């Protein structure tokens, strides 16, 4: 499936795959070896860097080596919390990946992409997961958010290992990252790379023509069809992103593109709000921040031109007029309407954003907007 982006003339494809060939593939990594003391949380197993070589009483000191030794340590920590997601429908099936994010004594929640489980929602199919130890479990769909390309599924098995949740706002371009998942059905695959860009506006089209807008983490870690929904972790093994899409120079609609060093992940801070609301809300839906404008799709200049306002919503309350051209949001340059949507959706309902706009008379004005909320 071909998608569009706002940043380059490339094709974006989902990284769900339907091919299952088995086996384990782990990328070889050679790094300069340096000894580092890290602290392992006694309850969660999460790793934290020691600032002075000592650890708190609730954590255990570990001396690891940066290089393949540390990669192996992180893989051993993360892999038990990564699953393969299998979708079976009357017309075929699909394969993706997921992360165990919460567990109780009787059941566990798994985070994946909406497009991984979409066929089961629309085609009368079933969902199952394969754990890292090879066990296969039936799964049910708790809820999903098409706008963010996220979904939560549930298995009736408790006390499973969960992935450590990181902070996607703390990563920087050049930071090392690790991608886990089941590309092309190869369960247990691990690849490494770096964060190659941040706040990359990426738009992918979901079933039914609904667009998903992602303020993405870009990485050169090898991501291929089947990696969808799997975790992108930092160098401590904490999930910082949900692998979702890849760029390709391929043309035509047949076949699936492979990795060319441009992969995109949904930031975990954004995903955490969505999956928490899916799990906790009675309707199993997540609210979306609402600016309350329609943008002019025929506008070809730089920025996002306001075509109309929704009465009583955030933009009108803040005084943004029809015809205004939004040029920055919270200091981030806005070249087009899609980038404006991505930046707004990277926030939570109720948050304040600073919007700079060029008015019809050529003047510029700053607006403080408190974002509204919608489920539509």
Q: Determine the pLDDT at residue 336.
A: 94
Read off the pLDDT of residues 141-198 as tens digits, 9 standing for 90 and up: 999 999 999 999 999 999 999 999 999 999 999 999 999 998 877 888 899 999 999 9
**Fold of the domain built from segment(s) 288-374:** Pdz3 Domain (2.30.42)
The pTM of the full predicted model, rounded to 2 decimals, is 0.79
| Structure tokens given for 77 | 């920590």
CATH number of 1-31+67-286: 2.40.10.120
Q: Determine the pLDDT at residue 18.
A: 34
d(CA 373, CA 376): 9
> Burial code of 21-41, b = ≥16 C-beta within 10 A, e = fewer?
eeeeeeeebeeeeeeeebbbe
Read off the pLDDT of residues 321-369 as tens digits, 9 standing for 90 and up: 999 999 999 999 999 999 999 999 999 999 999 999 999 999 999 999 9
72: helix, coil or strand? helix
d(CA 37, CA 48): 9
Read off the pLDDT of residues 249-269 as tens digits, 9 standing for 90 and up: 655 444 556 667 789 999 999
> Looking at residues 234-240, what average pLDDT do you find?
94
In sequence order, the 6+-apart residues with CB closer than 8 A to the CB of 304 are 295, 325, 326, 334, 336, 337, 339, 340
d(CA 4, CA 190): 27
d(CA 178, CA 231): 8
Q: Determine the pLDDT at residue 261.
A: 72
| Structure tokens given for 93 | 């099936």
> Looking at residues 73-101, what average pLDDT do you find?
92
Which position has the higher pLDDT, 11 or 124?
Answer: 124
Other CB atoms within 10 Å distance of the CB of residue 46: 19
- Domain spans of the chain? 1-31+67-286, 35-65, 288-374
293: helix, coil or strand? strand
CB-CB contact of 149 with 206 (8 Å): yes
Q: Determine the pLDDT at residue 54.
A: 79
Q: Determine the pLDDT at residue 185.
A: 77
> Looking at residues 227-239, what average pLDDT do you find?
94
Least confident segment among 88-92, 166-170, 232-236, 311-315: 88-92
In sequence order, the 6+-apart residues with CB closer than 8 A to the CB of 298 are none
d(CA 277, CA 17): 28
Least confident segment among 16-30, 235-249, 314-328: 16-30
3-state secondary structure 10-32: CEEEECCECCCCCCCCECCCCCC
Q: Is the pLDDT of residue 271 over 50?
A: yes
Burial of 57 (0-12, 13-18, 19+ CB in 10 A): exposed
Q: Measured between alpha carbons, how far apart are the two ends of the chain, in Å?
A: 25
Read off the pLDDT of residues 117-154 as tens digits, 9 standing for 90 and up: 988 887 678 999 999 999 999 999 999 999 999 999 99
Read off the pLDDT of residues 22-45 as tens digits, 9 standing for 90 and up: 333 333 333 334 455 666 666 555
Q: Determine the pLDDT at residue 30.
A: 30
Q: Determine the pLDDT at residue 223.
A: 87
Active-site positions read 115, 149, 228
Query: How does the average pLDDT of the chain come out, rounded?
Result: 83
Beta pairing, strands 288-290 & 47-49: unpaired
Q: Determine the pLDDT at residue 262.
A: 85
């Amino acid at each position: 499936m071909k998608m569009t982006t706002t940043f380059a003339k490339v094709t974006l494809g989902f990284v769900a795959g339907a091919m299952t060939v088995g086996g384990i593939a782990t990328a070889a990594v050679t790094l300069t070896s340096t000894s580092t003391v890290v602290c392992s949380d006694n309850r969660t197993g999460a790793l934290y860097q020691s600032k002075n070589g000592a650890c708190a009483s609730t954590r255990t000191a570990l001396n690891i080596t940066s290089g393949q030794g540390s990669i192996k340590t992180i893989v051993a920590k993360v892999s038990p919390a990564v699953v393969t997601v299998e979708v079976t429908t009357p017309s075929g099936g699909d394969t993706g990946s997921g992360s165990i994010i919460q567990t109780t004594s009787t059941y566990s929640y798994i985070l994946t992409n909406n497009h991984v489980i979409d066929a089961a929602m629309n085609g009368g199919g079933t969902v199952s997961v394969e754990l890292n130890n090879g066990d296969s479990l039936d799964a049910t769909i708790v809820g999903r958010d098409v706008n963010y390309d996220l979904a939560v599924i549930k298995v009736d098995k408790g006390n499973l290992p969960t992935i450590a949740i990181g902070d996607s706002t703390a990563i920087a371009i050049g930071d090392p990252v690790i991608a886990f998942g089941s590309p092309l059905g190869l369960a247990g695959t691990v690849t490494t790379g770096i964060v190659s860009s941040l706040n990359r506006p990426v738009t992918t089209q979901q079933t039914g023509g609904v667009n998903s807008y992602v303020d993405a983490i870009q990485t050169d870690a090898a991501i291929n069809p089947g990696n969808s929904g799997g975790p992108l972790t930092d160098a401590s093994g904490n999930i910082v992103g949900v692998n979702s899409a890849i760029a390709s120079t391929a043309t035509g609609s047949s076949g699936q593109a492979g990795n060319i060093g441009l992969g995109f992940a949904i930031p975990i801070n954004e995903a955490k709000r969505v999956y928490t609301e899916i799990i906790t809300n009675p309707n199993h839906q997540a609210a979306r921040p609402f600016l309350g404008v329609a943008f002019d799709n025929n506008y070809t200049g730089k920025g996002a031109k306001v075509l109309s306002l929704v009465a009583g919503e955030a933009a009108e309350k803040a005084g943004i007029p029809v015809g205004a051209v939004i040029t920055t949001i919270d200091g981030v340059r806005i070249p087009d309407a899609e980038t404006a949507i991505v930046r707004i959706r990277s926030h939570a309902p109720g948050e304040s954003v600073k919007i700079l706009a060029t008015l019809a008379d050529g003047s510029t004005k700053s607006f403080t907007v408190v974002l509204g909320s919608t489920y539509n």
